[in-house]
Structure 1
């Protein structure tokens, strides 16, 4: 399986990237997924060009393909003006609108104050619901004072466990679908003897009138 982390952090080192790495490690430990990190900071120019030309550059194209083919996503953004960053939103604006349909997504964000924690619910979750992704119940917001504080490890583990469960279920579903893709013989035909319009076929405690008989009863003599 493939797990992709989309990080919109701008600084080096970045607390946004750090949170993405911790979530990825916790998820990969439960799924043995291969992890790829997409740093949007490195794609900013190509994202801007994509808006004006309609075509992604090589690096952006590879990142978009990685996201579209992933079995699960972790998306992490810093909070700017009480919402996700413009760079974060721009990346998902140039992504194929169908690319995330049914894909498990874990949403996370970092900020300087706990007051911005609702960004997960009023900005990130609606965005990915609109893209028809399957957003895990637990989002992870980390304020500056949360690093090293009690409870962060538990929140990361809970969110990672939910994402891992969805990824494993999706992979199993695809495997089952592939194994049943061969043509399946139709049901054997059943002979029902001809009966009068008033006759009934009885069985299992029901009285069932065959559809052909119902039609025949409605036709004029």
Structure 2
């Protein structure tokens, strides 16, 4: 199966974006993929803001991108664009860091006014970085990402949509797309 890097561009330690990604990662794991998580907020701020390409944490993150067959990029939407934190990491990666990769962009936000942020803000950057295939992304409203407890991290409708997006991404990677019972 494929090696997948799941990247959260959220600056928040209690991020809905990260909860959405972990839900998706779990499904990809069930499908036999090897998933590695990267939370950009855990990288050294000085290295990100100072464009320190040689910082050991930045070098390690760059290597994670290089080893991955597929990349899931998750970000909250701020001011109709992906997070500045994610941008700071993408700016430090080599120009063609996504060459040959299949990429799934995901975004979260407070209103449907931000739904086009994936296509107008994030997709062009991913394309310019050489992604071989950027599958259709998915926008999830914050209100559809529920608390940590209960029936699951997503409302049933959001869980169903994310499962379909995940299965499509998995198929694009050449993986199994077995349908599993909803977790939400």
Do the structures match in fold with TM over 0.5? yes
Higher helix proportion = 1
Contact 1:26-1:156 at 8 Å conserved across structures: no
1:28 aligns to 2:29 (yes or no): yes
Aligned to 2:149: none
Aligned to 1:162: 168
Distance in 1 separating the partners of 2:168 and 2:54:
32
Q: Could you give the per-residue CA deviations for residues 144-168 of structure 1, whole angstroms, max 9, x where no partner exists?
A: 2223434211221111112111222
Which stretches of structure 1, 4 residues or more, deviate above 3 A after TM superposition?
none
Contact 2:28-2:35 at 8 Å conserved across structures: no
Distance in 2 separating the partners of 1:119 and 1:89:
14
Contact 2:10-2:39 at 8 Å conserved across structures: yes
Distance in 1 separating the partners of 2:29 and 2:123:
22
User: TM-score normalized by structure 2?
Assistant: 0.82
Runs of 5+ consecutive residues of structure 1 not aligned to the other structure: 170-221
1:2 aligns to 2:3 (yes or no): yes
Contact 2:10-2:83 at 8 Å conserved across structures: no
Contact 1:71-1:104 at 8 Å conserved across structures: yes
Aligned to 1:136: 135
| 1:1-221 → structure 2 map (5 Å cutoff) | 1-30=2-31, 32-43=32-43, 44-49=45-50, 51=51, 53=52, 55-133=53-131, 134-137=133-136, 139-147=137-145, 148-168=154-174
SS at match of 1:96: coil
Per-residue deviation, 1:28: 2.5
Contact 2:96-2:128 at 8 Å conserved across structures: no
Distance in 2 separating the partners of 1:45 and 1:159:
35
Contact 2:11-2:41 at 8 Å conserved across structures: yes
SS at match of 1:151: helix
Runs of 5+ consecutive residues of structure 2 not aligned to the other structure: 146-153, 176-184
- Larger Rg computed on CA atoms: 1
